């Protein structure tokens, strides 16, 4: 299977386009993205415990992604019928009603394209021994460029709030000439981007402070750090 791996995807490259069947109907991925941000994530298999908790959490948080102009879309190597039945279980178990599309990728075509398959966990396979997907996350911007790549093993559930936090950071950084420090959340101080000289920083951020020549903090109100 290793010889079937695609070229590595990197930050800043255009997300590969594809056509696929989803629980919301067939899509052309780039057309579906339109002018929105996208959180594209895979899960190993329907009707499994960790995946059920994850999809429920993303469903509950979907309104927050929508406020930020972002769409959610999931994927696994299961059929549409499996997805549709499992969605009912997710709502029953977690209270999260999945309304975003889930891609049916039984043949792993999209999974190969995005290098989502599990090469580490020998138990994360189907009845034929073919690898299922890991817990991949891609954040894609409106220009179709990949801005974030995360890979979690099948055994570890993701943190949906962290994915939202990264989206906030990316959108805030695009809007303002800043970067965000560790554990940042909207409303916290941000870091003036290294490319901004002190003279320009005084104009952009009147209240910025210099801790070290390479470390300059500035307040940024929460409403400016949230892009609707």
Task: Classify domain 2-158 by CATH architecture.
Answer: 3-Layer(aba) Sandwich (3.40)
Closest CA to 124 of 56, 57, 55, 42: 42
Q: In a 3-state reduction of DSSP, which class is residue 161?
A: helix
Report the CATH fold assignment for 176-224: Antioxidant, Horf6; Chain A, domain 2 (3.30.1020)
pTM of the predicted structure, to 2 decimals: 0.91
Burial class (CB in 10 A: 0-12, 13-18, 19+), 172: buried
Q: Tens place of pLDDT for every residue, the chain, 228 residues?
A: 444 556 789 999 999 999 999 999 999 999 999 999 999 999 999 999 999 999 999 999 999 999 999 999 999 999 999 999 999 999 999 999 999 999 999 999 999 999 998 676 556 666 666 676 879 999 999 999 999 999 999 899 999 999 999 999 999 999 999 999 999 999 999 999 999 999 999 999 999 999 999 999 999 988 888 765
| Residues belonging to the active site | 51
What are the residue boundaries of the structural domains of the chain, listed by start? Answer: 2-158, 176-224
In angstroms, what CA-CA distances link 88 with 5, 21, 78, 125, 185?
Answer: 34, 19, 15, 24, 33
């Amino acid at each position: 299977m290793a010889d079937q791996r695609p070229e590595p995807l990197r930050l800043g490259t255009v997300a590969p386009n594809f056509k696929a069947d989803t629980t919301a109907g067939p899509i052309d991925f780039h057309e579906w993205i339109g002018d929105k941000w996208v959180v594209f994530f895979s899960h190993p298999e329907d009707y499994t415990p960790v995946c059920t908790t994850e999809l429920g959490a993303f469903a509950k948080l979907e309104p927050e992604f929508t406020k930020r102009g972002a769409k959610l879309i999931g994927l696994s190597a299961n059929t549409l019928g499996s997805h549709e039945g499992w969605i009912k279980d997710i709502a029953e178990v977690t209270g999260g009603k999945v309304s975003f599309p889930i891609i049916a990728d039984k043949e792993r075509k999209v999974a190969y394209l995005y290098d989502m398959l599990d090469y580490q966990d020998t138990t994360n396979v189907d009845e034929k021994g073919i690898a299922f997907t890991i817990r991949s996350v891609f954040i894609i911007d409106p220009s179709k460029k990949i801005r974030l790549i995360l890979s979690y093993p099948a055994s570890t559930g993701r943190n949906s709030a962290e994915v939202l936090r990264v989206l906030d950071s990316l959108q805030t950084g695009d809007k303002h000439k800043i970067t965000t420090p560790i554990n940042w959340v909207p409303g916290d101080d941000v870091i003036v981007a290294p490319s901004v000289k002190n003279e320009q920083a005084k104009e952009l951020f009147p209240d910025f402070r210099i801790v070290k020549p390479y470390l300059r903090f500035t307040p940024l109100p929460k409403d400016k750090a949230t892009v609707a």
